[in-house]
Amino acid sequence: MHTGHPPDVEAVRQVDRRLKLCKNPEKVVGSKAYLVRKAEEERKADEKRNKKAQDIRRALEGDDPFGDSFNARQSPQRMEELDDDDD
């Protein structure tokens, strides 16, 4: 026994149109907003990869395994004080 009836096709179409307007365009594959967002994400990822590669390159080029930041904190006078104890 059926107590309900199928919905009006035009009413369903109106609801469907409204739902499409409410979608976030950045999540709709192929839309301009989606492509812009993906391009921005890729640009940020490239910058991050390049920075990491530069950091690694700098570390490999220098002879100091601790990098320049460790040496910058140690003043030449302090280094001499550390070397005095082996006389």
pLDDT of amino acid 87: 52
Residues 76, 80: Cα–Cα separation, whole Å: 6
pLDDT of 34: 92
- pLDDT of amino acid 25: 84
85 vs 66: CA distance, rounded Å: 23
pLDDT in tens, 12-71: 999 998 888 788 888 888 889 999 999 999 999 999 999 999 988 888 887 665 655 555
Neighbours of 84 (CB within 10 A): 7
